[in-house]
Structure 1
Amino acid sequence: MNIIKLDAINSTNDYLKTLLQRQFVENFTIVSAENQTNGRGQMGSEWSVEQGKSLTFSVLVKDLLLEISHIFHLNVAVAVSVVEALSFLQIKDLAIKWPNDIMAEGKKIGGILIENSIKSDGEIFSIVGIGLNVNQKNFENLQKASSISILKNQEFDKQEILATILQNLGRNISLVMNKNTEPIWEKYHSVLYKKNVPMPFENTHGQKFMGIIQNVNQEGKLLIKLEDESVKKFNIKQIKMLY
């Protein structure tokens, strides 16, 4: 496992992508940065970090997915790996907010961005970006954000957390490789944020409605029971939860 440690970088995901264009990069190469100046979340949202306080890193994963329809298995493996690592710190109410936000006590403490590419020969490779608020204290006007340090009232060793996440990720990726994904899917659904709870949602047209999250299917679509008792599938670009 090759680990590249940087003091500051625009984005660890972008760094890995550029490296891939220039040279051969070993599978499971990790790039971590003390300061990430242009981190991104889902759908292009910015990920702001306090220098030296948060854990920001990316992992190259290749030779894993054989079919494009299996991509969300990796999302599940990564999110579960992070939650499992944080559970050892006895953080309360850990949850995964679909598709890839890490929540604790109703606050966002981390996020995952996975960027997939398909080569001309059909090979699928993924760059897994993870941002975790570890010792960050200042979130300006981000009322829905928090950190592990705030929740536990102490500071933590970021490298120890990184090592635990990577250990879990190696184990869970092995499950995906061996087509034994049931355990990670079971864990994912067991900590799915607001599952079976009536919640307000908003679609791309600005229309608001109530629904109850049932689960997430193998394609990564969110299944919501509507007020007329029907169950509808949504992808990430079609809907957002209002909380």
Structure 2
Amino acid sequence: MNIIKLDATSSTNDFLKDLLTKQFVENFTVIVAEHQTKGKGQMGSEWTVELGKNLTFSVLVRDLLLDIQGIFHLNVAVAVSIIEGLETFNIGGLAIKWPNDILAESKKIGGILIENSIKRNGEIFSIVGIGLNVNQERFENLPKAASLLSVTGRLFDKEAVMLAILNNLKRNLSLLQAKEYELLWQSYDSRLFKKGIPMPFEAGDSSHFMGIIQGVTPNGKLEVLLEDNSVKTFDIKEVKLLY
């Protein structure tokens, strides 16, 4: 495992993308930064962290996905790997909030941003960006944010946490390569936040409705049971969970 450590960079995902344009980069190369100045989240949102207290790292995944239809399988493998890695530190209340948030005790402790590119020869390169709040204590104006420290009262060795996640990721990517999708999806489904519980949602037009999460489709859409007993699927921009 090739791990490149940086003091600071604008974005570990961007650093890895830039590196790919300059040289050959071996599969599973990891870029980790003590400080990320322009971290990105889903749909362009910023991911900001306190200097030296949290984890921001990116992993190159190549020679894995055969077609664009299998991209969400990678999301599933990554989310499950983070949860499994954190479980080794006896952290309770862990869950995956669709599509790419990691929660502990119903508060966001981390997020995933996967950026994919298809080369002319058809090869798919995926850059898996992971941000995890580890030893940060304060989250001003962010009532739904937390860290491993704030939910457990314990300080953590950041590198040990990262290696636990990476070891699980390597194993789960092997399952993905072997097309053992069912095992990964079962693990993902069992950890899905608020599954089977009536809860409010906000639609893209800002209207509110009640529904019950049933699961996630293979292409990453959220399945929700509505009050009229119909099941509707939603894309990331079409619905927001209110909790």
Scaled by the length of structure 2, the TM-score of the pair is 0.98
Aligned partners of 1:93, 1:163: CA distance in 2, in Å?
Answer: 21
Specify every segment of 5 or more residues in structure 2 that has no aligned partner in the other structure, as ranges.
Answer: none
Structure 1 segments of 4+ aligned residues over 3 angstroms from their partners: none
Q: Which residue of 2 aligns with 1:119?
A: 119
Q: Which residue of 1 aligns with 2:133?
A: 133
| 1:83-232 equivalence runs, <5 A | 83-232=83-232
Aligned partners of 2:202, 2:22: CA distance in 1, in Å?
Answer: 42
Q: How big is the shift at 1:202? A: 1.2
Give the RMSD, CA atoms, in angstroms. 0.8
Aligned partners of 1:172, 1:223: CA distance in 2, in Å?
Answer: 24
Amino acid in the other structure paired with 2:217:
N
Aligned partners of 1:121, 1:201: CA distance in 2, in Å?
Answer: 42
Whether the 8 Å CA contact 1:6–1:31 is kept in 2: the answer is: yes
Identity, in percent, stands at 65
Aligned partners of 1:208, 1:116: CA distance in 2, in Å?
Answer: 33
Whether the 8 Å CA contact 1:195–1:212 is kept in 2: the answer is: yes
Aligned partners of 2:17, 2:136: CA distance in 1, in Å?
Answer: 27
Aligned partners of 1:131, 1:225: CA distance in 2, in Å?
Answer: 31
Aligned partners of 2:235, 2:35: CA distance in 1, in Å?
Answer: 32
Q: How big is the shift at 1:23? A: 1.4
Q: How big is the shift at 1:53? A: 0.3
Scaled by the length of structure 1, the TM-score of the pair is 0.98
Aligned partners of 1:138, 1:88: CA distance in 2, in Å?
Answer: 25
3-state SS, counterpart of residue 228 of structure 2: coil
3-state SS, counterpart of residue 213 of structure 1: strand
Amino acid in the other structure paired with 2:208:
K
Aligned partners of 1:138, 1:9: CA distance in 2, in Å?
Answer: 23
Q: How big is the shift at 1:63? A: 0.7
Amino acid in the other structure paired with 1:241:
L
Aligned partners of 1:207, 1:23: CA distance in 2, in Å?
Answer: 49
Q: How big is the shift at 1:82? A: 0.4
Q: How big is the shift at 1:29? A: 0.6
Aligned partners of 1:138, 1:7: CA distance in 2, in Å?
Answer: 22
Q: Which residue of 1 aligns with 2:49?
A: 49
3-state SS, counterpart of residue 142 of structure 1: coil
3-state SS, counterpart of residue 109 of structure 2: strand
Q: Does 1:30 align with 2:30?
A: yes
Whether the 8 Å CA contact 1:50–1:138 is kept in 2: the answer is: no
Spell out, residue by residue over 1:181-233, the C-alpha distance to the aligned partner (whole angstroms, 9 max, x if none).
Answer: 11111010001000001111112211111111000111111100011100011
3-state SS, counterpart of residue 103 of structure 1: strand
Aligned length: 243
3-state SS, counterpart of residue 117 of structure 1: strand
Specify every segment of 5 or more residues in structure 1 that has no aligned partner in the other structure, as ranges.
Answer: none
Amino acid in the other structure paired with 1:136:
Q
3-state SS, counterpart of residue 59 of structure 1: strand
Q: Which residue of 2 aligns with 1:241?
A: 241
